[in-house]
Amino acid sequence: MDDPLTNPSIDLKGRRILAVDDDRINLRIIGGILRNEGYELAEAASGEQALEVYKTFQPNLVLLDVMMPGIDGFATCRTLKKTYGDKCAPVIFVTAKSEADHRHKKQSGGRGQFGEVHLRVYPLPRDIDSKEKFFTDFANKSKFEKLREVQMRVGALPVYPTNALKYNLTWSTDGLINEYCNPCESIRDGARGEVPALEELEAFSLDGITYEAFNTSGGLGTLCDTLEGKVENLNYKTVRYPGHRDIVKMLVRDLRLGLRRDIMKDVLETAIPITYQDVVLIFVTVSGWMEGRLTQESYAKKIYAQTIGTRLMSAIQITTAAGICAMCDLLVDSKLPQKGFVRQEEANLADFLSNRFGRHYA
């Protein structure tokens, strides 16, 4: 694949982005890519620091993590809006929080009232932009006259699994734990509701490799809002190698580490190494009526680690950074609404895939 980070078509002169995240790895990856592409970047490791940097930097856009010690992302955004009013820069939330937590903040005034752009971008396998765009395209623009079922299976896996979990850490441990512990939104028989994480285990094979999939939280993003009333069944499951779910369920349920997440985080980060040799797997199946007949279509893709410029980047780093940076480009180029809450699936699929960053998903 040609390097999509060349021949930019967007005028970036004077475009300033403030990136706020307490995770140094996140800042390094996103910041490195944006600087290379002509954006002027400032970084902050906390909400308090972000408020100070904003005063002097005066950004055109803010990339804001939600889960941070001290002032969290929602409180930071409220303070920015209160201080700068209509002149406040648009904000893109970059978060590993579950949809249930997100809804709680929305109900308590943490979102939607700011009059700014709020794009929820997920830095975990469940948060891969292309999966949402794929079947939102089915729902809104495709040849399906009516949807029946949408099944999403997504995972970031080590290419060379060696431990009992058959897993390596690839991004945010907090986000991973949220996936395994928080309730999961779904639509079942036309009714919207929640199901427990780590349940409804299933197995499937792709390219001769056997995988397992099970319920995890947050993967649907705003798709329940978008497809409610348009689909009978909508669900999301995380993909792992066989045996992973049973061990995790023992940790979360039997040892009750789901109630002591700080201990679970320490155990995982102490015992399981990170890897840059990973693969992001996306497997989506959609069924519905096409020309009067019940028809099924599937989409499967694997994205591997590769060298971007002179740097080796893992597959989950590439997919996450590409999604966030593509959304920045689309916002700057006025291909996204400039005000109000914007769902990821509102981005035009063709615009996203033709973008210099989005081409990684093509």
pLDDT score, position 186: 95
Residue 314 gets the label, from left (phi > 0), alpha (psi -120 to 50) or beta, of: beta
The three-class DSSP label of residue 188 is strand
Token couple for 194: 């929640």
Q: What is the pLDDT of residues 107-137, one digit of tens each?
A: 334 433 333 343 443 332 333 344 444 445 5
Q: pLDDT at residue 337 above 90?
A: no
pLDDT over 70 at 47, yes or no: yes
* pLDDT > 70? residue 61: yes
pLDDT band at 23; cut points 50, 70, 90:
confident
Domain locations along the chain: 16-121+320-361, 125-304
Q: How many Cα neighbours within 13 Å face the side chain of 204? A: 20
Looking at 3.20.20.70, 2.40.30.10, 3.40.50.720, 3.30.360.10, the CATH number of the domain 125-304 comes to 3.30.360.10
Comparison of pLDDT for 151 and 328, the residue scoring more? 151
Question: What's the pLDDT at 95?
Answer: 63
Distances (CA, A) of 62 to 55, 94, 102, 223: 13, 10, 19, 24
The CA distance from 1 to 150, in Å, is 30
Q: Are 42 and 56 in contact (CB under 8 A)?
A: no
Rounded Cα distance between 356 and 199, Å, is 38
* Most trustworthy range by pLDDT among 36-45, 123-132, 231-240: 231-240
pLDDT-derived band at 232, boundaries 50, 70, 90: very high
- Dist. CA 268–CA 83, nearest whole Å: 40
pLDDT at 171: 76
Read off the pLDDT of each residue in 256-272 and give the average, rounded to a whole number. Answer: 95
Highest mean pLDDT pick, 4-8, 63-67, 132-136, 234-238: 234-238
What residues contact 120, with CB distance under 8 A and at least 6 apart? 93, 95, 102, 221, 222, 343, 344
Mention every residue, 6+ apart, whose C-beta is less than 8 A from residue 17. Answer: 34, 39, 40, 41, 42, 59, 60, 61, 62, 63, 328
Question: Whole-number mean pLDDT of the chain?
Answer: 81
Q: Is residue 312 very low, low, confident or very high in pLDDT (cuts 50, 70, 90)? A: confident
What are the respective helix, strand and coil percentages of the chain, to the nearest 5? Answer: 35, 30, 35
Tens digit of pLDDT for each residue in 273-293? 999 999 999 999 999 998 889
Three-point CA angle 356, 353, 12, nearest 5°: 30
**What pLDDT does residue 12 have?**
56
Q: Within 13 Å, how many C-alpha atoms sit on residue 71's CB side?
A: 18
Query: Could you tell me if 121 and 344 are in contact, meaning their C-beta atoms sit under 8 angstroms apart?
Result: yes
Would you mind telling me the total number of residues written for the chain in this entry?
A: 362
Instruction: Please compute the mean of the pLDDT values over residues 133-155 and round it to a whole number.
Output: 72
Candidate from 125-129, 149-153, 301-305 with smallest mean pLDDT: 125-129
CATH class of residue range 16-121+320-361: alpha beta
Mean pLDDT lowest among 31-35, 299-303, 340-344: 340-344
**Burial of residue 306, with CB atoms counted within 10 A of its CB: 0-12 exposed, 13-18 middle, 19 or more buried:** middle
Rounded to an integer, the average pLDDT of 232-252 is 97
Question: Residue 204's pLDDT band (boundaries 50, 70, 90)?
Answer: very high
Min mean pLDDT across 111-125, 265-279, 318-332 is at 111-125
Is the pLDDT at 194 greater than 70, yes or no?
A: yes
Alpha carbons 204 and 239: distance in angstroms, whole number? 10
